[in-house]
Amino acid sequence: MNEQIQVPQVRVIDADGTQLGIKTIQEALKLANKIGLDLVEVAPNANPPVCKLMDFGKYRYELSKKEKEQRKKQHVIHVKEIRLRPKTDKHDLEHKIRHAKEFLESGNKVKTTVVFRGREMIYKEFGYQILTEFQEQLADTAKVEKGPFEEGRNLVIVFTKK
């Protein structure tokens, strides 16, 4: 009946990165209290688990600052929509193409939609003509990601930057 109770042990690392060796959890906690820092488990799957002496509040603050900086640097791709009608005039179409080029240069996708109303659905070929004209004008700066396809009463094509 001489069973020994196994005391959990951890590898302790100081705040400056030096290893202090393998200690029991109680010893590590006493050491952390004596120094005035927190005992933080950094590698729970290691054998024995690794704990570091650090100021946990400061650590969380630095992590949040890093995450904020990363979010600031990332660029979210938006899908800009350009809506046309089957009877859109040539000058208006050129104006919309200029806008599409600007959107593509700024790193966004462009969704070009030809909207049909009422009896215009019978003449879908006008919509396809407008979209092919749009595609030809953007051929040097953009490639077709999707389309042209019908989406209800709309004819849609999606462009991305080459």
The residue among 25, 26, 21, 29 whose CA lies nearest residue 9 is 25
Quick one: pLDDT at residue 1? 52
Token digits of residue 50: 């690794």
Q: H/E element holding 41?
A: strand 38-43
Over residues 104-114, mean pLDDT: 93
Query: How much is the pTM?
Result: 0.57
pLDDT of residue 2: 58
141 closest CA partner among 116, 113, 93, 109:
109
Q: Does 71 score more than 60 pLDDT?
A: yes
Task: Check pLDDT > 80 for residue 109.
Answer: yes
**pLDDT digit string, tens, across residues 36-70:** 999 999 999 988 999 999 999 998 999 999 999 98
Tokens, residue 21? 């060796």
* Beta strands 50-54 and 154-161, pairing class: unpaired
pLDDT band per the 50, 70, 90 thresholds, residue 158: very high
Strand 19-24 relative to strand 79-84, pairing = unpaired
* Arithmetic mean of pLDDT, 7-36: 91
d(CA 35, CA 37): 6
* CB neighbour class for 80 (10 Å; exposed up to 12, middle 13-18, buried from 19): middle
Q: Return the percentage of the chain with pLDDT > 90, whole number.
A: 71
Query: For the chain, what is the mean pLDDT?
Result: 90
- DSSP H stretches of helix in the chain: 25-35, 56-73, 90-105, 124-137
Torsions phi, psi for 103 (to 5 deg): -60, -45
Which pLDDT value is given to residue 3? 65
Which residues 6+ apart lie within 8 Å of 137 measured at CB?
94, 97
Domains and CATH numbers, the chain: 9-70 (3.10.20.80), 79-161 (3.30.110.10)
